[in-house]
Amino acid sequence: MKAVVVGSGVGGLATAIRLACEGWSVEVFEANAYAGGKLHAFELDGFRFDGGPSLFTMPHYIEELFRLAGKNPEDYFQYEEQDEACRYFWEDGMDLKGYSSPQRFSEEVERRLRVPKEEVMEYFDHAKNIYDHSAKIFLEKSLHKASTWLSKETVKSLIKIRQYDIFKTMNRANKIRLGEPHLVQLFNRFATYNGSDPYRAPGILNVIPWLEHGFGTFFPKGGMKQIPASLEKLARDLGVVFHFNTEVEQITVSRGKANGIIAKGQTHKADLIVSNADVWFTYRRLLQDQKAPERTLQQERSSSAMVFYWGIDREFNNLGLHNIFFGRDYKGEFDTMFQKGSVSDDPTIYVNISSKCEPGDAPDGQENWFVMVNVPSNQGQDWDGMESEIKARVVEKLSRMLKTDLAPHIATERVWNPKGIEADTRSYQGSLYGTSSNDQFAAFLRHPNFSSRIKNLYFCGGSVHPGGGIPLALLSAKITTELISKPRA
């Protein structure tokens, strides 16, 4: 039996591996010259940059793939646990080391913000409780199959649903549980992990801090690019065939069944099609003659990003691998992004410096900065014009908060804006996570991992259930493969 996977993001790679382990003959078709989707890398004037996601959590989901294939994960992939999850900086001079350990983090908060460590630990206990009682359903099962809802496990979870803060916003739940403004803003920022607005997204998303602090944060040896590189090697070892620089033009359907794809004018027949492409792109470009789920495709998109890749000609010892420089008006920042389709005059800035862990990523005495501002999805804005304005604000803010004139130290630069993200990754409007989660029922509104109209057509990746980000994309592959191997009502 032959399966075709459209796209080689981490979700597509994981699906190809799982299908190969079950005996399928698998071929992957990728428009780009490399595997990984948004997880790509490049070199620029002696600096190496991971182009896309820079945070690595829950490595057990990757190790599971190697063990499933009967391989030793360490033969393919190595990583190191990080003592710090992130360093935080505020305009009022406050700064805080976000230690990965909940206990150490709580002690640091008590020392710096005068919030009793017991209150912070209670918050983490609450986040862990959400995870323990909801992850098996909301993250690891299809929400679009009756069998999920008829299980005893689901019934037990639903009895406690009010405990998950699903009827409060993230911000409201954080204000009630934490109160201290710096701390509320810090935990609100986890909404950006799926491109959402903490002032509208449901409080159940406050489980995200537990994924980072409960399970830890890590750095892959060789950089984030090693994640797709190791998965591609495993897939090849299992017999998966890759077709790079080969854009799929159409998914063919006959008598209600997907039966192949057309790429470079050639038809490739298959018994099963899995699209790892953005679900909007899949319907609008690859299934043009099929009825599309319009309500799903018209949902509010997640945020996108403006990324500046800077080679910095000096070192900053007060910065770590991950750094956040908060804006003063956080609510206004999200209102501007989601309501006005623009960018705040005082945006929150994320700076990732992989050379802190991988010294070879930058020349001696220098650093490679991945500088990101969350921005709205591409709806026709003048991104080329906005680019220089945003850069000026970012340079001014970082210079002020770091007490260093940064501009003279930018030795080289590349920029990735929403228009470029959309073109390079086929992500509709350049949205990083498909649809936003700015609705209390967002989890139920994401596209399922299968087609209810077309047999033998499935979906995986960040634009479908359970959501975006590396861990959820990997889980989408698991859900999709289980639906294929064990179809249930």
Cβ count near 468 (within 10 Å): 28
Q: What's the whole-number mean pLDDT along residues 183-196?
A: 97
Q: What gap in Å lies between CA 477 and CA 466, rounded to an integer?
A: 10
Count of beta carbons in the 10 Å neighbourhood of residue 437: 28
pLDDT at 470 over 70: yes
Average pLDDT over residues 419-437: 95
- Distance, in Å, from the CA atom of 283 to the CA atom of 290, rounded to the nearest integer, reads 8
DSSP string computed for 326-345 = --S-HHHHHHHHHTSSS--S
- Convert the pLDDT of each residue in 156-186 to its tens digit: 776 766 677 888 999 999 999 999 999 999 9
Predicted confidence (pLDDT) at residue 489 exceeds the cutoff of 70: no
Average pLDDT over residues 138-147: 78
pLDDT of residue 111: 98
- Euclidean distance between CA atoms 7 and 13, whole angstroms: 8
Task: Give the model confidence (pLDDT) of 337-376 as tens digits.
Answer: 999 999 999 999 999 999 999 999 999 999 999 999 999 9
What is the spatial distance between Cα 98 and Cα 108, in angstroms, rounded to a whole number?
Answer: 8
pLDDT interval class at 309 (50, 70, 90): very high
Confidence bin at 210 (pLDDT 50/70/90): very high
Q: What is the mean pLDDT of residues 288-301?
A: 94
The predicted-structure confidence for 318-333, as pLDDT tens digits, reads as follows 999 999 999 999 999 9
Taking Cα atoms as reference points, which of 200, 266, 254, 285 lies closest to residue 27? 266
d(CA 330, CA 487): 44
Domain ranges of the chain: 2-38+221-300+439-485
Q: Is the peptide bond before 102 cis (omega within 30 degrees of 0)?
A: no
Question: Average model confidence (pLDDT) for the chain?
Answer: 95
- What pLDDT is attached to residue 163? 75
Give residue-wise pLDDT tens across range 367-412.
999 999 999 999 999 999 999 999 999 999 999 999 999 999 999 9
In this prediction, residues 179-207 reach a mean pLDDT of 96
Q: Is 243 helix (H, G, I), strand (E, B) or coil?
A: strand
Q: For residues 328 and 376, what is the distance between their CA atoms, to the nearest angstrom?
A: 19
Strand pairing category for 410-416 and 367-375: unpaired
pLDDT reading at 69 higher than 80: yes
Query: Can you give the pLDDT at residue 149?
Result: 67
**Higher-confidence position of 54 and 143:** 54
Please name the fold of domain 2-38+221-300+439-485: FAD/NAD(P)-binding domain (3.50.50)
Q: Which amino acid is at 98?
A: G
Give the DSSP letter string of 150-177.
Answer: TSHHHHHHHHTGGGGTTTSBHHHHHHHH
Q: What span, in angstroms and rounded, lies between the C-alpha atoms of 489 and 470?
A: 28
**Closest to 303 measured CA to CA, from 416, 166, 471, 191:** 191
Per mean pLDDT, which range of 19-28, 80-89, 102-111, 142-151 is the poorest?
142-151
Confidence of residue 146 (pLDDT cuts 50, 70, 90): confident
Over residues 207-226, mean pLDDT: 96
For residue 266, is pLDDT > 90? Answer: yes
Instruction: Using the predicted structure, report yes or no on whether residue 488 has a pLDDT greater than 70.
Output: no
pLDDT band at 444 (very low <50, low <70, confident <90, very high): confident
- What are the Cα distances from residue 60, in Å, to 77, 163, 381, 433? 12, 27, 40, 22
Single out the residue of 311, 326, 319 nearest to residue 370, CA to CA. Answer: 311
